Copies of this chain bind each other. A is one copy, B any other.
Amino acid sequence: MTDYRRLRVALLGAGAVGSHVADLLLRHGDELADRAGARLELAGIAVRDVDAPRDVELPRELYTTDVEPLITGADIVIELMGGIEPARSHILLGLGSGADVVTANKALLATHGPEVFEAADRVGASVYYEAAAAGAIPIIRPLRDSLAGDRVVRIMGIVNGTTNYILDRMDSEGADFADVLADAQRLGYAEADPTADVEGYDAAQKAAILASLAFHTTVPLDAVHREGITGITADMIEEARDAGLVIKLLAVCERLREDDGESISVRVYPALVPREHPLASVHGANNAVFVEAEAAGSLMFYGAGAGGVQTASAVLGDVVSAARRHMAGGTGVGESTRANLPIVSIGHVVTRYQITLEVADQQGVLATIALLLSQGGVSIATLVQTPLTPANGRRGTARLIIGTHRAADSALSAAVDRLTASDVVEQVVSVLRVEGE
């Protein structure tokens, strides 16, 4: 066994991910040393309660509540506590005392990323966060390094496993949102309070991180347009299927080119995706990130988006990278945000809408609706009209599924407002954007 230099690793947090990270560090010590060129010595695990039950059994003497000396004595700090504080202060303390930092904390990076990266730059340290964006899927290095010589045009990501699990089961079983959510909670795929997942907050944090990397631009979380999936019904999914589409919660990061220069859009919403698109075959709680770049063309990265041991793999990859950098010497490579492209609001985004209406089944309705749409510069691409029989609706009404041509979201949204206000429209049943065509 080679006699490697020892690097002291401080682990903050022993939850689902942290306990697996500690376990793998201990069990695969020799192998990791060979790969890193240094022995990764787990100096301690900072926890709130030393006696709390854990997912994985670890030597009791590793646990400590005395977090500051653990951090300041470490070469590498792994932050897996989550949340903003005290995670932020701990990371800054680690960087300030010369450690490299590995974190999976998407909430922190999406809100305090620039502060953390600047602190690292000041001391020439590095921050690694492969686990923050799509669990075990290697997406950070591909975007930051492999595509660094290319220009990313668009990212479409299924980056939240809970919502993909729910939508996929709704799609395969014809089930309702509430029923599948309840079942997902029972099975542990969704949390007791599912808000962060189903309202798209988690996906929005990841979208901010991915867009920052892809477009070399600081993307504040509040610049990410966000819509959740709570309004998605079994009917909408069935209608999508009939049209050869599937509903996915997408994080879309897009480079826009207008006459006055480039800008970007970052948005999270449920969208209709053609069934033949690679993202349509991402089932269950899996994640996938579809990247379109000017030179590389279309790429897709697929895998487990969550899970303790899966995410631990991404964290450990970062730990080995940090150790190799320590041994190689030199400063860390900072984040590049020099492009600093303007971020446009959702109104500027150009997409297609699919609008489902219930309308009065009478002469002239189509002309009225076409007029209402065209007044705002929205034109109809496809139209399917189904008279509603008494069995599935009120007599005298018809269902109208309108696919629009591409238009600015502000125009589409205003057109939907006009439809809602119109006398001939009984109900705007659903409005969904179409992506990936």
* Partner of A303 from B31, B36, B296 at Cβ < 8 Å: B296
Is B316 a contact partner of A149 (Cβ separation < 8 A)? yes
Q: For residue A302, which residues in chain B have a CB less than 8 angstroms away from its CB?
A: 278, 299-302
A112 at interface by CB-CB < 8 Å? no
A261 at interface by CB-CB < 8 Å? no
Q: How many residues of A contact B (CB 8 A)?
A: 62
Closest Cβ neighbor of A130 among chain B residues: B146
Contact with B along A93-108 (1 / 0, CB 8 A): 0000000000000000
Chain-B contact segment, one of A226-234, A324-332, A378-386, A387-395: A324-332
Is B148 a contact partner of A36 (Cβ separation < 8 A)? yes
Is A138 a contact partner of B299 (Cβ separation < 8 A)? yes
A16 CB to nearest B CB, Å: 13
Q: How far is the CA of A409 from the CA of B34 in the complex (A)?
A: 32
A401 at interface by CB-CB < 8 Å? no
* Partner of A148 from B137, B297, B303, B321 at Cβ < 8 Å: B321
Known: A28-B151, A278-B281, A330-B328. A304 touches B312 (CB 8 A): no
Number of copies: 2
A314 at interface by CB-CB < 8 Å? yes
Q: For residue A325, which residues in chain B have a CB less than 8 angstroms away from its CB?
A: 330, 333
A310 at interface by CB-CB < 8 Å? yes
A32 at interface by CB-CB < 8 Å? yes
Q: For residue A332, which residues in chain B have a CB less than 8 angstroms away from its CB?
A: 328
A317 at interface by CB-CB < 8 Å? yes
Q: How far is the CA of A137 from the CA of B297 in the complex (A)?
A: 10
Is B317 a contact partner of A147 (Cβ separation < 8 A)? yes
* Partner of A24 from B24, B35, B295 at Cβ < 8 Å: B295
Q: How far is the CA of A222 from the CA of B310 in the complex (A)?
A: 34
A307 at interface by CB-CB < 8 Å? yes
> Main secondary structure on chain A at its contact with chain B?
mixed
Q: How far is the CA of A346 from the CA of B142 in the complex (A)?
A: 33
* Partner of A295 from B138, B216, B310, B330 at Cβ < 8 Å: B310
A150 at interface by CB-CB < 8 Å? yes
A87 at interface by CB-CB < 8 Å? no
* Partner of A316 from B136, B295, B314 at Cβ < 8 Å: B295
A218 CB to nearest B CB, Å: 14
Is A295 a contact partner of B278 (Cβ separation < 8 A)? no
Nearest 9 CB-CB pairings of A with B: A149-B316, A330-B330, A138-B146, A329-B330, A296-B313, A295-B313, A138-B142, A148-B320, A34-B338
Residues of A within 8 A of B (CB): 2, 20, 24, 28, 31-32, 34-37, 130, 136-138, 141-142, 145-151, 216, 278, 281, 293-304, 307, 309-310, 312-321, 324-325, 328-333, 336, 338-339
User: Could you name 12 residue pairs across A and B whose Cβ atoms are closer than 8 Å?
Assistant: A2-B338, A35-B216, A130-B146, A138-B138, A142-B142, A145-B317, A148-B317, A148-B320, A149-B318, A300-B300, A302-B302, A325-B330
